[in-house]
Amino acid sequence: MSIRDQIADLAFPNANIDMLQALEEKIATRNLAPGQMVTRMAPSPTGFVHLGSIYMGLINTTLARQSGGVCMLRIEDTDQKRQLDDGIAQILTAFHTLHIHFGEGPVLEGAEKGDFGPYIQSHRKDIYQAYAKALIRDGKAYPCFCSSEELDKVRDEQTLKKERTGYYGKYARCRDLSDAEILQKLQAGASFVVRIRSNGSHENRMDVKDIIRGTRSVPQNDMDAIIIKASDGLPTYHFAHVIDDHLMGTTHVLRGDEWFPSLPLHMEMFYIMGWKAPKYAHLSPIQKMDGTAKRKLSKRKDPEANIEFFLEQGYPVNAILEYLLNLANSDFEDWRKKNPALPLADFALDLKKTSPSGALFDLDKLNSISRRIISEYSNTEAYDLALAWAERFSPAFYPRMANEASYIKAILNIERENVRRRKDITRWGTLQDDISYFFDDLFTAPDLATVTGKNPDVLKAVLSGFMGALEHATDRDAWWEATKAATDAAGFCSDTKAYKANPDAFHGSIADFMKIVRLALIGREDSPDVHEIMMVMGLEKVKTRLAKHM
Ligand code: GLU
């Protein structure tokens, strides 16, 4: 056995290099047709699921689907200290709830899907170690025994000399240890990390390609980056993603732009492994305005960074997805205007049209999309979604939703079948408040004289006139004619033109008349169609409400 073999064996006694060939041969079984993309979403289970993760997951799955390829979910849990116990379940649940489905990867219950797993990195330790062992054997990587104190000292020295910090060149002490020294240290049981042996020079430049940013000339990598950590023998992100994206046949890596500076290192690692690198696209994180400045949505500061925030607020999933596509491609809005009825899946997402500087989060835009989407549901669809929301998020509203299903469906149906549908519901979280006036226990009659500033006799005349017209309530047209007559009889004006020509001659217009009616009836000045509201409420309730003020 050569000394190198002995070193490799001592470093990873249990790792089996021979198994790697079969794994590499497997890639060909993807049998991709030209243009088919294999993408992956690679979250770390270290905290709540970020809106940005959903955004990225949507882009990854959409591109794969459009190309006839596949998107995998890969759990990157190699930083064991930062893992949450239920981190993976949180990720799976969030993507499932948001209707983002992966062709391969772990699932909530049962065995993972796909032939290129395991898809949880901590379950692939033997693979990473076998590659590390082979690299050590071949002299392309080496064990490094530097303690953290020693590394700190080097960093201080570099800082003092105003040099780049890091483990490279002459500062990479262990890279020049002799095989005999390495063997001796390993035999003595010294703790070590494994580092890649860089062949690059910071003086030389290289071109890196990014689908969104184009080709950039950057200095080569010269860092001997850690590929296997000392603490648990698990790989670093750099190493794990290179191996996984190769073995899993990834064609396109879409990831956050914080990784863009690591691209020279990753390119060198693919080169050292003798593999072709996938294509890369680095997406800027979602931004928000903070005062007059843009900054990225912050996990700590912004509740809306957490996808759960939107679910809890009661935005329908389709609204969230449509909003995210809107953020991803600025021509989405035009497409939607031209194709109001097409499903989201028909929109052709184009990676090249994503903003390199970061899409700007805009709650008003989300609200307006959500109002439109809610307006497009049938009353039963809206009811079912609102019920599911209440079951999860509103113990106070849920019993009413469940027990008064037909009344609430009728409420939701108001102006829903019109050509211009009602767009007054923004999200399920405000639904109870939106419709509270239909329920006596949630309704407080306002003091009409105070809110309208009108003389009590005028108010009485309005309400009794309106009450009289209710006689025709079952025939909408007849009722409206009678209401107009009541308007004129109460000293208001049912003819808009006549009113505008001489406003001082009247107590107000018919709109003012109806405003008083609405206030008495529902406590609000604006509402959907009054006739429809009355028909749903029932005339008994209507009369009782009006009578209170007379
Ligand atoms: N786990 C990495 C992250 O969350 C994934 C980056 C990638 O997609 O390669 O940033």
Indicate the domain borders of the chain.
37-116+284-376, 125-247, 379-434, 448-547
CATH placement of domain 125-247: 3.90.800.10
- Per residue, what are the HEC states of 477-528? HHHHHHHHHHHHHCCCECCHHHHHHCHHHCCCEHHHHHHHHHHHHHCCCCCC
State yes or no: pLDDT of 440 exceeds 90: yes
**CB within 6 Å of ligand 1 — which residues?**
42-44, 76, 241, 253, 255-256, 259
* CA-closest residue to ligand 1 atom 6: 255
Q: What integer is the mean pLDDT of 142-161?
A: 97
The pLDDT assigned to 459 comes to 96
CATH architecture observed for domain 448-547: Orthogonal Bundle (1.10)
Query: Could you count the other beta carbons within 10 Å of the beta carbon of residue 463?
Result: 23
The pLDDT assigned to 81 comes to 83
Q: Give residue 547 CA to ligand 1 midpoint distance, Å.
A: 65
463 vs 80: which has the higher pLDDT: 463
Whether residue 198 contacts residue 168, with contact meaning beta carbons closer than 8 Å, is answered with yes
Cα–Cα distances (Å) from 341 to 344, 357, 385, 427, in that order, read: 9, 31, 20, 20
How does pLDDT run across 237-255, given as a tens digit for each residue? 999 999 999 999 999 999 9
What are the percentages of helix, strand and coil residues in the chain, rounded to 5? 55, 10, 35
DSSP 174: G
State yes or no: pLDDT of 162 exceeds 90: yes
Whether residue 90 contacts residue 48, with contact meaning beta carbons closer than 8 Å, is answered with yes
The pLDDT assigned to 272 comes to 98
How does pLDDT run across 391-400, given as a tens digit for each residue? 999 999 999 9
Q: Under DSSP, is residue 429 helix (H, G, I), strand (E, B) or coil?
A: helix
Q: What integer is the mean pLDDT of 101-127?
A: 96
% of the chain exceeding 70 in pLDDT: 100
Cα–Cα distances (Å) from 394 to 377, 381, 386, 391, 402, in that order, read: 21, 19, 10, 6, 12
Cis peptide before 395 (omega within 30 of 0): no
DSSP 168: B
Place 550 in a pLDDT band, splitting at 50, 70 and 90: confident
State in Å, rounded, how far the first CA of the chain is from the last one: 105
Beta bridge partners of 530: none
Whether residue 202 contacts residue 215, with contact meaning beta carbons closer than 8 Å, is answered with no
* CA-closest residue to ligand 1 atom 3: 43
Cα–Cα distances (Å) from 162 to 159, 165, 220, 456, in that order, read: 5, 9, 20, 83
Most ligand 1 atoms within 8 A of CB, residue of 241, 248, 280 to mutate: 241
Q: What integer is the mean pLDDT of 326-343?
A: 94
Most ligand 1 atoms within 8 A of CB, residue of 44, 90, 252, 279 to mutate: 44
Q: What integer is the mean pLDDT of 312-325?
A: 97
State yes or no: pLDDT of 358 exceeds 90: no
The pLDDT assigned to 379 comes to 95
Whether residue 167 contacts residue 224, with contact meaning beta carbons closer than 8 Å, is answered with yes
Place 84 in a pLDDT band, splitting at 50, 70 and 90: confident
* Residue of 377, 378, 397 whose CA lies nearest to 389: 397
Q: Give residue 244 CA to ligand 1 midpoint distance, Å.
A: 12
Mutual angle of helices 456-469 and 476-489, in 10-degree steps:
150
Ligand 1: nearest atom to the Cα of 76: 1
Place 178 in a pLDDT band, splitting at 50, 70 and 90: very high
The pLDDT assigned to 23 comes to 96
State yes or no: pLDDT of 1 exceeds 90: no
Most ligand 1 atoms within 8 A of CB, residue of 84, 254, 259, 266 to mutate: 259
* CA-closest residue to ligand 1 atom 9: 255
Q: What residues contact 411, with CB distance under 8 A and at least 6 apart? A: 435, 438, 536
The pLDDT assigned to 194 comes to 98
The pLDDT assigned to 14 comes to 96
Q: What integer is the mean pLDDT of 202-228?
A: 96
The pLDDT assigned to 328 comes to 94
374 vs 47: which has the higher pLDDT: 374
The pLDDT assigned to 80 comes to 82
* CA-closest residue to ligand 1 atom 5: 42
The pLDDT assigned to 426 comes to 97
What homologous superfamily does CATH list for 37-116+284-376? Answer: HUPs (3.40.50.620)
Q: Quick one: how far is CA 265 from the chain centroid?
A: 29
Whether residue 26 contacts residue 247, with contact meaning beta carbons closer than 8 Å, is answered with yes
The pLDDT assigned to 231 comes to 86
CB-neighbour burial class of residue 124 (10 A; exposed 0-12, middle 13-18, buried 19+): buried
State yes or no: pLDDT of 411 exceeds 90: yes
State yes or no: pLDDT of 318 exceeds 90: yes
| E strand spans, 286-370 | 287-290, 293-296
The pLDDT assigned to 422 comes to 84
The pLDDT assigned to 283 comes to 94
Report the C-alpha dihedral over residues 354, 356, 361, 366, rounded to 10 degrees: -10
The pLDDT assigned to 21 comes to 97
Return the structure tokens found at 25.
């041969």
State yes or no: pLDDT of 83 exceeds 90: no
Q: What residues contact 13, with CB distance under 8 A and at least 6 apart? A: none
Q: What residues contact 336, with CB distance under 8 A and at least 6 apart? A: 322, 347
The pLDDT assigned to 34 comes to 96
The pLDDT assigned to 90 comes to 95
To the nearest whole number, what is the mean pLDDT of the chain?
95
Place 151 in a pLDDT band, splitting at 50, 70 and 90: very high
Query: Could you count the other beta carbons within 10 Å of the beta carbon of residue 380?
Result: 12
Whether residue 306 contacts residue 50, with contact meaning beta carbons closer than 8 Å, is answered with yes
Most ligand 1 atoms within 8 A of CB, residue of 255, 257, 283 to mutate: 255
The pLDDT assigned to 487 comes to 97
State yes or no: pLDDT of 420 exceeds 90: no
DSSP 350: -
State yes or no: pLDDT of 417 exceeds 90: no
